Structure 1
Amino acid sequence: MFDKPQDDVDLPVPIVSEPNYDALEQFAPLKTEDYESFKRDFLTWLATKGKRPFRGDGYADTTVHTTHYKIEMAYRWLWEQEGKYTTSFDGEKGEAFIDTLVTESPKTDNEIKIFIKCLKRLFKWFDNTTGTNYDWSYSKSDQLRSEDNSKSIHYFRQWELGELYDAALDFGSFKSYRNKGMSDKERKRLKIYLAQRFEKPKEEIGAADFEKANSWKFPSLTSMSIDLGLRPIEVGRASVNWLNLSENEVVIPHDESTKNAEPWECALSNRSVNALERWLEERRQYDLYDETDALWVTKYGNPYDSSSLNRLLDNLLERTDVTPGNRDLTWYAIRRGCATMWANNAGLDAAREQLRHKRLKTTMRYVKSESSKRTSIANDLW
């Protein structure tokens, strides 16, 4: 029935996911073997021919990976709907499956479009190997919105958030101006850098500027943003009055909490408490903060916003090993990473409270699976 697969293909995914093995336990054992053979043929075709069958061009590993888990979920849905084991999937069932995602799941329109693409690959395989002619497309595709990918898929992984904090420490740290181990050449380079950073002539840079550069401003801002997933507008609104450091928490009043009518109580890590305590002590020394309760302001005395935070982020990224790849890593990606980190380690309910979401459904749209920590759970969520 199907083309004989190549035995030596190194597939980037397991033939069958754990959730599907679990679902297959309700059927006779031979059904599992049949599904394994079915999936092996399909995945091998994807990897070796799927992109352009007549040329023998397969899809990239990432595409095979995505398609595999989307189709696994589709078959779990199919078995539940049919009440029996089957590998038969046609256009009518494809339409019904996507309708279910649209009406009953928290998935974004962009995510649903990916499911549609994966089903198209399945039907393309059927057409190519069995002589069917599904030529399937979802009838309501024109009603699915194109969404901002930076808000739906671009986020910092947990280890990358740690790199950002380390970079913030590095960004605000300089040797003493009179450090005996500093060469004249190094001191000259640092004076040029500080002249650019403080926007003053190089000749005027002295010991006080080097001391000023050893600031806890950026580590405290970065750490608290990672803990709470602060939106840019919340960084701008953040006040010293929000802080309850003795209880490791931030209390955001209801009249200052974005998109909410109630105050939020959010947890702070010991790392953030340490950075904030040091920053508050330092902050009192600056004339810039004499008449404001703002926790942080720019060097011009303005509240932080998306533009100023994204410039800060660019500076931090230059000091890390983080490679953006095809991601658009803006400040908002920290919030997405925070949501994923909390959901991975403390569960969705804790993530919802920490991210200050009214509804769990909103949090679920934020969370992205990190394979290094949640492989088995990620398989369930696909």
Structure 2
Amino acid sequence: MKIDLPITLNNCDIGVDPDLDPGRSIVVVPKTHDGVLSEKQLVDYKEQRIQFLSWLLNVGKNPNRAEGYAEYTVYSDSYRTARFDKWLWERNGDYKYPPEEADAQAFIEHLAFSDTGQVEKGKLQEAINHLSKWLHYTRGEPEWEFEYTFRSRGSSLEPRDYLSEPERRKIRQAALNEGNIPAYDSLTPQERSGWKHHVATVLGKPYEEVTKDDWDEIDGWEITSLVWTSLDAGLRPDEVSNATTKWVDYKNGVLRIPYEESSKNEGNWTVSLTNRTATALQRWLTEREQIPRYEGTDALWLTTHGNPFGSKSLARLLRRLCDQAEIDYENRQMSWYTIRHSVGTYMTHHRDLKAAKDQLRHKSPKTTMKYDQVSVEARRDVLDKMG
């Protein structure tokens, strides 16, 4: 049932659910927030929370059909998202609204190792997903993805699926086949001159000897470098979005992620890369100089529309690579975190938890513990030996 929201700012009731206890209402700012915010912060927070909860109530469940969530769901979401908001302010020591994906990631990780019941963890995550959905539909933000999935009705925490080692090799090969430089005839004379220098550098030929036929010998390295770097570093979606050219140290085969640009603002990180990935990044940085959408920005990767990659665009890319590599993902959680979890799983298996912790940039060893599991291949080898 849709309701014409009566707004009152005394406890900020936005409508009474007839299925709730008498007098219970959807609360914009709970009493737990009393004295937490300044007057100006409270005014701003109330305004945005009213927009968020009203959106959930009227169109949030299916925005394309203007179908809202049940009033009880919005009532519950109001308290659970407010709990997240307060946790974030206390953690950062300052007011911030709306939160960002890295903030939600930190809260979900906090929940994973808290004493909160498993079902409540799942319901908190559902509420935060609803918040992300609102930001996506009303402000164009990428929808959030998390390293952990909690069940709202059931037992436990589920790490996302991961690529097997043969699948990682197939994805790496499929990414090698991605990308082209602009066609010779599509370029203006000025653009062609710049690309001709690039072709000459790649082929090791004098500029004057480069011909139109040489264009067919050159492939683009943009997507290849993005995928290969993620296969090595286990980049989170927001790290792909935040990555800059300054991170790349291909001479030493590492990414250097500074404190202020790291996904969770927890410290400087030096992340190992394979030689082939370092070479791919070197080639990409040279190629990148010729592409107009990178002018005036130090972003390492952008979509063809000049926007940062988001969770959904990365998931679509991975599924496209899976299709090319003939990897079945019908019953799997095939998101960008699938790559990250493969790094953690096999780094732990082939080395140890300390190596996985450093490579994945975890602050707490507890976070890395979920990778302390025996892979399917290793278990199969044991079964073969058992006879």
Structure-2-length-normalised TM-score: 0.49
Tell me which structure has the larger Cα radius of gyration. 1
Higher relative contact order (CA 8 A, sep 6+): 1
Structure-1-length-normalised TM-score: 0.49
